[in-house]
């Protein structure tokens, strides 16, 4: 994915040259400007345009979708970056805020497997099947398991007890490192959380998955974003890509527009889908907030980043069905922080079969391996070290895959790695964070309009509001707030 020069045609240094004015012909004023076309930004734009507001959606990349993206490579390969799985709620969100056509393509995965020195199981990843495994494979009592599920199901955002996920597990399954691994590993991949994070952030996401298992989108990310773009246009949203928003315009505590490419465009309200800290500290600027607030925002921790290895199967070769998602590790015992190790032993393989892209003319298989990662491990490598580390990541991944599914390596004709640097480059998330900020970011995101009137944030924060479902739903929550703000504004003007 590190192929910048190709993306920005005419560029000699990998940076966007913006040969044409990407805002040419834009109006001077919109009811709403959205900065960033990730799932939260796009969903908020769609909801508010449908409500009758004029909406300008700006995106710095040429593509829409943010982290929900894909890329093509010679040989007919299409790789999905973050289409590994999400909870069933995505179906309802698509139906309500996008279209039935989108919702109908949200279907359950057939199989999820775990292979590590502590257990080797296949599951439909829902409460019934997890209960069966916890009792039959892990030897727990039914009462013990039921109590755990009742506890996490009953968790409520508004009465957070302050308990950590590690404490939650110890409380219900003391000393059972294997059980902690089963319960935590997939959620760490799904939202970057660890045992040290609040139990509430675990409980909400875990319960969402446990209601009906893991879901995917048939057609691939390119298909989904294509339909969303079509829908946005029908709703009346003005879509502008390659627009690097440089500044959110603020006067006397009120956001009134954006500055980009020499244009100042005014708006009744601004929603930023950019990283929360970048929104506050860079796009608005610390001078527009109280010093104390800025200090607190600076202290908000970002979530970890990821590495991925994309493997394309040669035309004409087949991969027999293995599973859809394979959580693997050669580590003897579960160790939550070790999931982010640069040379770690734990990775998740996503297998993509031709049935997942029925419209594609070329029936290809791809496999994507994902690991959680720290930006700091990759940030300061020289070009040579960077290439060496990526080659090592590719090789370690191919070896791991071959051990798990013998005979696969010989069928692969394309391999490439993405690192935290890649994710930062393409989405501008600080530290290449895959899931935005840690839990403490949520309050600052939700209260942004209390600091700067007319300014809102929608996007990965607080673990809960990240992932495809979390981000899209947060777009709706923010859109509802903006809707009433803009209606009040219209009444005042009338
Ligand atoms: C490797 C990986 C695997 C993942 N796997 C899954 C998974 O299996 N399931 C799941 O549910 N989630 C997964 N996620 C997470 C999920 O993709 C994200 O949480 C979600 O897509 C984030 O959406 P968002 O709306 O917060 O915005 P983002 O996707 O972060 O998009 C923000 C957008 O804003 C744009 N932008 C930023 N600054 C500016 C600016 N100044 N001007 C203009 N535009 C700007 C960016 O270019 C970007 O398009 C994964 C993420 C990664 C990285």
For the segment 429-455, the average pLDDT, to the nearest whole number, is 94
Contact assessment for residue 480 and residue 98, using Cβ atoms and an 8 Å cutoff: no
CA 303 to ligand 1 center in whole angstroms: 12
**Does residue 18 carry a pLDDT above 70?**
no
Q: What pLDDT, on the 0 to 100 scale, is given for residue 395?
A: 98
| C-alpha span between 213 and 299 (Å, rounded) | 35
397 lines ligand 1 (CB under 6 A): no
Q: What pLDDT, on the 0 to 100 scale, is given for residue 17?
A: 53
69 lines ligand 1 (CB under 6 A): no
CA 96 to ligand 1 center in whole angstroms: 21
Superfamily of 4-81+219-301+435-493 according to CATH: FAD/NAD(P)-binding domain (3.50.50.60)
| C-alpha span between 418 and 348 (Å, rounded) | 15
pLDDT band at 201 (very low <50, low <70, confident <90, very high): confident
Q: What pLDDT, on the 0 to 100 scale, is given for residue 449?
A: 97
**Does residue 138 carry a pLDDT above 90?**
yes
446 lines ligand 1 (CB under 6 A): no
For the segment 203-217, the average pLDDT, to the nearest whole number, is 93
405 lines ligand 1 (CB under 6 A): no
Q: Which of 22, 82, 308 to mutate to test the pocket of ligand 1 (most atoms within 8 A of CB)?
A: 82
Q: Which of 22, 36, 191 to mutate to test the pocket of ligand 1 (most atoms within 8 A of CB)?
A: 36
Contact assessment for residue 417 and residue 393, using Cβ atoms and an 8 Å cutoff: yes
Closest C-alpha to ligand 1, atom 6 = 82
60 lines ligand 1 (CB under 6 A): yes
Q: What pLDDT, on the 0 to 100 scale, is given for residue 35?
A: 98
Q: What pLDDT, on the 0 to 100 scale, is given for residue 19?
A: 58
pLDDT band at 3 (very low <50, low <70, confident <90, very high): very low
Q: Report the range of poorest mean pLDDT among 131-140, 148-157, 393-402, 409-418.
A: 148-157
58 lines ligand 1 (CB under 6 A): yes
434 lines ligand 1 (CB under 6 A): yes
Q: What pLDDT, on the 0 to 100 scale, is given for residue 427?
A: 94
Which DSSP letter does residue 280 get? I
| C-alpha span between 75 and 84 (Å, rounded) | 22
**Dihedral of alpha carbons 26, 28, 32, 37, sign:** positive
Q: What pLDDT, on the 0 to 100 scale, is given for residue 11?
A: 46
Q: What pLDDT, on the 0 to 100 scale, is given for residue 199?
A: 93
Query: Of the candidates 234, 182, 239, which has an alpha carbon nearest to the alpha carbon of residue 56?
Result: 239
Q: What pLDDT, on the 0 to 100 scale, is given for residue 466?
A: 84
The predicted-structure confidence for 288-342, as pLDDT tens digits, reads as follows 999 999 999 999 999 999 999 999 999 999 999 999 999 999 999 999 889 999 9
Dihedrals φ, ψ of 475, to 5°?
-55, -40
For residue 104 the two structure tokens come to 């109908």
For the segment 273-291, the average pLDDT, to the nearest whole number, is 97
**Does residue 1 carry a pLDDT above 60?**
no
Q: H or E segment at 183?
A: helix 177-191
Q: What pLDDT, on the 0 to 100 scale, is given for residue 161?
A: 78
pLDDT band at 20 (very low <50, low <70, confident <90, very high): confident
Instruction: Write the CB contacts of 429 (distance below 8 Å, at least 6 apart in sequence).
Output: 275, 278, 302, 423, 436, 460
| C-alpha span between 139 and 142 (Å, rounded) | 9
Which DSSP letter does residue 399 get? H
> 155-189 b/e with 16+ CB inside 10 Å = b?
beeeeeeebbbbebbeebbeebebbbbbbbbbbbb
Residues of the chain with CATH 3.50.50.60: 4-81+219-301+435-493
**Radius of gyration of the CA atoms of the chain, in A:** 22
Q: Residue 71 forms beta bridges with which residues?
A: 79
CA 83 to ligand 1 center in whole angstroms: 11
CA 67 to ligand 1 center in whole angstroms: 3
Mean model confidence pLDDT for the chain: 93
For the segment 457-468, the average pLDDT, to the nearest whole number, is 88
CA 273 to ligand 1 center in whole angstroms: 9
Instruction: Write the CB contacts of 335 (distance below 8 Å, at least 6 apart in sequence).
Output: none
The predicted-structure confidence for 25-42, as pLDDT tens digits, reads as follows 999 999 999 999 999 999
370 lines ligand 1 (CB under 6 A): yes
Query: Of the candidates 485, 489, 491, 467, which has an alpha carbon nearest to the alpha carbon of residue 40?
Result: 467
Q: What pLDDT, on the 0 to 100 scale, is given for residue 155?
A: 87
Helix H segments across 67-164?
A: 89-97, 100-104, 127-136, 142-153
CA 101 to ligand 1 center in whole angstroms: 23
Q: How many CB atoms lie under 10 A from the CB of residue 129?
A: 16
Residues of the chain with CATH 3.90.660.50: 108-217+304-423
Q: What pLDDT, on the 0 to 100 scale, is given for residue 2?
A: 42
Query: Of the candidates 13, 415, 70, which has an alpha carbon nearest to the alpha carbon of residue 225?
Result: 70
195 lines ligand 1 (CB under 6 A): no
Q: For the whole model, what pTM was predicted?
A: 0.94
CA 60 to ligand 1 center in whole angstroms: 13
For the chain, what percent of residues have pLDDT higher than 90?
87
Atom of ligand 1 minimally distant from the CA of 435:
19
Angle at 267 between CA 262 and CA 270, to 5 degrees: 95
CATH architecture assignment, domain 108-217+304-423 = Alpha-Beta Complex (3.90)
Angle between helices 199-212 and 165-172 (to 10 degrees): 70
202 lines ligand 1 (CB under 6 A): no
For the segment 277-295, the average pLDDT, to the nearest whole number, is 96
The predicted-structure confidence for 141-192, as pLDDT tens digits, reads as follows 999 999 999 999 988 776 677 899 999 999 999 999 999 999 999 998 888 8
The predicted-structure confidence for 359-375, as pLDDT tens digits, reads as follows 988 889 999 999 999 99
For residue 121 the two structure tokens come to 């199981």
Q: What pLDDT, on the 0 to 100 scale, is given for residue 156?
A: 78
What is each CA distance from 29 to 57, 103, 192, 233, 253, in whole angstroms? 13, 33, 39, 18, 19
């Amino acid at each position: 994915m590190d192929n910048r020069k190709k993306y920005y045609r005419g560029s000699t240094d990998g940076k966007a040259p913006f040969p044409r004015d990407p805002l040419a012909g834009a109006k001077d004023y919109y009811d709403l400007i959205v900065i960033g076309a990730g799932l939260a930004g796009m969903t908020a734009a769609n909801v508010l345009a449908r409500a009758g507001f004029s909406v300008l959606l700006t995106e710095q990349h040429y593509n829409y979708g943010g982290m929900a993206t894909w890329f093509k490579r010679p040989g007919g390969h299409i790789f999905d970056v973050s289409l590994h799985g999400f909870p069933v709620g995505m179906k309802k969100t698509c139906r309500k805020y996008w279209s039935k056509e989108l919702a109908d393509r949200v279907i359950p995965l057939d199989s999820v497997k775990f292979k590590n020195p502590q257990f080797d199981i296949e599951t439909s990843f829902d409460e019934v099947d997890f209960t069966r495994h916890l009792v039959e494979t892990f030897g727990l009592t039914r009462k013990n398991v039921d109590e755990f599920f009742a506890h996490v199901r009953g968790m409520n955002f508004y009465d957070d007890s302050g308990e950590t996920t590690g404490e939650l597990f110890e409380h219900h399954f003391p000393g059972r490192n294997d059980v902690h691994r089963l319960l935590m590993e997939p959620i760490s991949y799904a939202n970057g959380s660890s045992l040290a994070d609040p139990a509430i952030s675990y409980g909400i996401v875990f319960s969402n998955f446990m209601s009906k298992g893991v879901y995917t989108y048939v057609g691939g990310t390119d298909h989904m974003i294509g339909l969303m773009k079509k829908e946005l246009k029908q709703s009346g949203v003005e879509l502008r890509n390659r627009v690097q928003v440089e500044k959110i315009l603020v006067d006397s505590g009120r956001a009134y527009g954006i500055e980009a490419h020499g244009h100042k465009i005014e708006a009744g309200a601004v929603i930023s889908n950019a990283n929360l800290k970048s929104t506050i500290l860079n796009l608005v600027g610390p001078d527009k907030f109280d010093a104390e607030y800025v200090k607190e925002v600076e202290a908000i921790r970002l979530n970890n980043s990821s590495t991925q290895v994309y493997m394309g199967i040669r035309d004409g070769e087949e991969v027999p069905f293995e599973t859809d998602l394979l959580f693997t590790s050669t580590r003897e015992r579960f160790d939550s922080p070790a999931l982010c190790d640069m040379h770690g032993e734990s990775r998740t393989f996503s297998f993509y079969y031709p049935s997942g892209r029925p419209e594609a003319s070329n029936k290809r298989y791809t496999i994507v391996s994902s690991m959680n990662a720290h930006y700091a491990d990759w940030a300061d490598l020289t070009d040579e070290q960077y290439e060496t580390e990526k080659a090592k990541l590719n090789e370690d991944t191919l070896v791991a895959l071959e051990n798990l599914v013998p005979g696969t390596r010989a069928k692969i004709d394309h391999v490439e790695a993405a690192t935290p640097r890649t994710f930062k480059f393409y989405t501008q998330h600080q530290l290449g964070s895959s899931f935005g900020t840690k839990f403490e970011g949520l309050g600052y995101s939700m209260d942004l309009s209390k600091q700067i009137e007319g300014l809102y944030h929608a996007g990965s924060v607080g673990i809960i509001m990240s992932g495809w479902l979390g981000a899209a739903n947060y777009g709706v929550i923010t859109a509802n707030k903006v809707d009433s703000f803009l209606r009040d504004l219209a009444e005042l003007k009338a």
